[in-house]
Structure 1
């Protein structure tokens, strides 16, 4: 069937001075910073496997799936027509197509199928691309990926679930595990009285044969249509971790009641629910009183994904803003030729380049951690820095990109409105900003080798740029001061370490204009607003790295 372009001549006027209609693009081939980062951090097979995904994500078809999944959000179905309890979440077909794209590509499983051989770099880079199709559906992809390290604390549970969790397939039906070729996992930890303080949880777990029965309420359940949920509950030994399947071993629906779906600011394509455990059957995962330690195996993975997702969203917003600037004229010039617009776009591009570099470096640490003590030490720290700082930058980034388009950026037909609503979620999810900064201090105190490994990484770039060297001196002065001074300045320390790490990676690998521009605008003449770059900074080498219109 022929693909007809939109009509430009209307009854009263001609549509002109607009960028061309959307067309298929290649989100991988067009992304020079991503391809360069992979060439430094990952084995060659990763880029080869990602190439088809980039073509799919950039296609008009897949972009339309993301729009449809947001326009038609999930619906809660508590009962069937006869009054029998269902507790199901129904999704638009576009959502299921996105899940098929990710799961049949194996992007939820690649980190474990290729563990130690580039699997984490592949997963992180794929999540970065998939986010540019639709961020919300990536939640169950992340949860399913992240559950494996926690399940390793329960070998019998792992043996039953791992084949279905690592399958390159997708089955969104509500069926017992034995009847499905593939499964997904969610998480239900938060309770209203405790929030981030999960030790305040009061859901109870009572022994029932080989399993437990859980009774209590969870304020947030992520991905409530999943085949099972990792959750925390109090038992006689303390706070334990449990796997709660959707169906009990006899094939009956488990006593997990969905009370309501959250009406969220953004993240519309993804469901989050309040749930009630009414004697729900569950299996223990890990030692009965060490639930937090067990679930942190999962959280460490989800935090890295929560650090990568905002970078993917920023990349999508940047490409949208640049495409508009290249296709629209104002005051006699293309917007892309206007000095102020060039400064704004170049500044946004620097942020994305730095985010990609830090995300892929953290993923490499994950892959090498089993065989390299220094990389294992970095794996404790880099996701914390990236999760905090990438999410701090996201909302302002989306607002700036939206402003590049003007009024049409603020309407729902543009992806920027959706991205702007989505921007805060990863900052809140898996630990808000203060929690993340306090976690940084905990790592610094309990695992000094992690800070030593980070300083070793930073030292390799010392002497290459003056603002960078001065930033390192500031960090060392704070850490050498009294211990009680650290907590009030934990945000400053986390931000500065994140920016210094980004700068070190760019100084080592990026073109000189990118590295110099980042160091001067973040560590030297810093401004909270985008577009306030040093007057003598060469912008053309930065902008030339962006895709053509």
Structure 2
């Protein structure tokens, strides 16, 4: 029968709906590619676009959905009652890991001598985050473990070649039998959390030079990784240890997984509570210097928090822009409606500022690894500032992007609820907002070179924008350490982040972007919600910078 004979049949025709955002290059983003060139990794762009096309495919979208719908499952024992402590993942998770590790987002940058290798890796990490967030946890920890492991050259010589591999080789086997390794960390315990000096896990040295650990960790992600850096109390104080899941002779190390965490988001990634009982370990770095050793790893994972949040923000924005380009209301496309242009332009400013800052940090990390002491000093303060602010902004930005889709964005099929559940994670992982604000104060007090490097970076834009200059003058006064500095720390770190982002955009972004950012973020002409940019803003230029 025809629709004419049965008029109600037309209600099943689907119109005015955006198609899925698939079949595109997720790396086709001017802000990203300009930053990669600027920070010295233009040689990576062809590979980045190749990976971007995979990330933007329908296949990758399916992997992301399946890996989160079919969550990891813990098997503590085999059918005969033997303790095995294994976690089973859906095949989609392994597909995600194969793609991302293969693209070089894990440890391979440490084995690449080309200038810009860490920038190339950072860009790949950001694009991979746009595909799915949970699997990035083991990827990040594998990248971050290498600086800490190098404090014990013998251990680094054994494990680093496999940690820098681009082969994802799952399963618990002796490291020498694998083509690639993944690493994790076990820092926190239930009685202390961030206060790792309250840890009670104990370490006893053995005649053969190894150690034995006993204790219970509270939040250890990716328990199927091959090795972990763990903090434990040795006779000489809190120390860092390498704990492999499988020992060199092929036997299983004691790593009893008590349970998997039931988390708000990050569902594809298994987070666990492991118990150590006569667990074999090797000392990394000096005894009693565990925090100093593992902070090398934490610094790099904090960088990844910034990169991951920037990528996550970009993906949420891309979904909002895509929907707005197809959806029509009141006789015009959403993206042509003045108020929606204000919202999208405002979100675009946040995204561009986060991406530009993240890549600047990656460039500093790359040059610091090559001996640039000024960049190392800049990284020390700027990482804490960026980690606080970009991760703190992420939940609000994602919520606003979801709202751009209306009811469609609240539907699980859109993928936006998954992005929303993931959004708070980076603000918590590797130190919550307070931890990073206080870390800024420590850097200011103990490492004055970091403030001087920060000053040099901001003043590179001196005289280019009066609002930026005024904000920097005010910030310099606020950076003076007074008795009430801890009370003011959040206010100061927020302003430091905005001034740093403003300096970067004034130097590197189109004039319309820099002007809108400085007017709204530094000049005080911004409302409490997004979409409150003032009249006179060049919205056409802002919209042009958004993901296609």
RMSD of aligned Cα (Å): 1.4
Q: Residue 441 of structure 2 aligns with which residue?
A: 441
Instruction: For residues 494-527 of structure 1, give each alpha carbon's deviation from its aligned partner in whole angstroms, at most 9, with x where no partner exists.
Output: 1111111111111001100100011111111133
| Equivalent of residue 144 in structure 1, options 134, 142, 145 | 142
For residue 202 of structure 1, the aligned residue among 192, 200, 203 is 200
Secondary structure at the aligned position of 2:407 is classed as helix
> Offset at 1:10?
6.3
Match of 1:159 in 2: 157
**Residues of 1 paired with 2:21 and 2:322: CA distance?**
10
1:73-128 Cα shifts (integer Å, max 9, x gaps): 11101111111111011100010011111122222123212257111111111110
* Partner residue, 1:102: 100
Structure 2 counterpart of 1:40: 38
Work out whether residues 108 and 165 of structure 2, in 8 Å CA contact, stay in contact via their aligned partners in 1: no
1:104-143 aligned within 5 A = 104-115=102-113, 117-143=115-141
Q: How does 1:263-278 map to 2 (within 5 A)?
A: 263-278=262-277
- 1:340-367 per-residue CA deviation (whole Å, 9 max, x = no partner) reads 1110000001101001110111111111
Deviation at 1:412, TM superposition (A): 1.0
Aligned counterpart, 2:212: 213
Preserved contact between residue 108 and residue 166 of structure 2 (Cα < 8 Å): no
For 1:279 and 1:213, the matched residues in 2 are separated by: 5
Note if contact 2:234-2:288 (Cα within 8 Å) is conserved in structure 1.
yes
CA distance in 2, matches of 1:547, 1:203: 48
1:286 is matched with which residue?
285
SS of the equivalent of 1:413 reads helix
Q: Distance in 1 between matches of 2:464 and 2:421?
A: 39
CA distance in 1, matches of 2:9, 2:453: 63
Secondary structure of the structure 2 residue equivalent to 1:462: coil
Aligned partner of 2:4 in structure 1 is none
1:19–1:327 contact (8 Å) kept in structure 2: yes
8 Å CA contact retained: 2:243, 2:281: yes
Structure 2 stretches lacking a partner, 5+ long: 1-7
Q: Secondary structure at the match of 1:219?
A: coil
1:351 matched to which residue of 2?
350
Query: Do residues 544 (structure 1) and 533 (structure 2) align?
Result: no
Match for residue 47 of structure 2 among 39, 46, 49 = 49
Residue 336 (structure 2) pairs with residue 322 (structure 1): no
Alpha carbons 1:110, 1:122 under 8 Å: kept: no
Counterpart residue number, 1:239: 238
1:321, CA displacement in angstroms?
A: 0.5
Deviates more, 1:520-529 or 1:162-171: 520-529
How much has 1:37 moved relative to structure 2?
1.1
TM-score (structure 2 length as normaliser):
0.96
Contact 1:116 1:367 in 2 (8 A): no
Counterpart of 1:6 in structure 2 is none
Query: SS where residue 203 of structure 2 aligns?
Result: strand
| 1:510 corresponds to 2:528 | no
The equivalent of 2:86 in structure 1 is 88
2:404 maps to 404
Is there any run of 5+ residues in structure 1 with no aligned partner, and where?
Answer: 1-8
1:493-504 counterparts in 2 under 5 A? 493-504=492-503
TM-score normalized with structure 1 length: 0.96
Q: Offset of 1:215 from its aligned partner? A: 0.2
1:308 aligns with 2:325: no
- Residues 429, 416 of structure 1: alpha-carbon distance in 2 compared, 3 angstrom cutoff: same
Secondary structure of the corresponding residue to residue 18 of structure 1: coil
Do the aligned residues in 1 keep the contact of 2:505 with 2:513 (CA within 8 Å)?
yes
Q: 1:341 to 1:235 in 2, by over 3 A?
A: same
1:115–1:367 contact (8 Å) kept in structure 2: no
Separation of aligned partners in 2, 1:301 and 1:536: 40
Q: 1:72 aligns with which of 70, 73, 82?
A: 70
User: Residue 4 of structure 1 aligns with which residue?
Assistant: none
Q: Distance in 1 between matches of 2:22 and 2:477?
A: 52
1:132 match: secondary structure: helix
Deviation at 1:249, TM superposition (A): 3.1
Matches of 1:227 and 1:462, distance apart in 2: 49
SS of equivalent residue, structure 1 residue 128: helix
Matched, 1:170 2:171: no
User: How far is 1:11 from its partner?
Assistant: 6.9
Deviation at 1:44, TM superposition (A): 2.0
**Aligned residue runs from structure 1 range 334-413, under 5 A:** 334-369=333-368, 370-413=370-413
Indicate conservation of the 8 Å contact 2:176/2:248, yes or no: no
Displacement of 1:439 after TM fit? Answer: 0.4
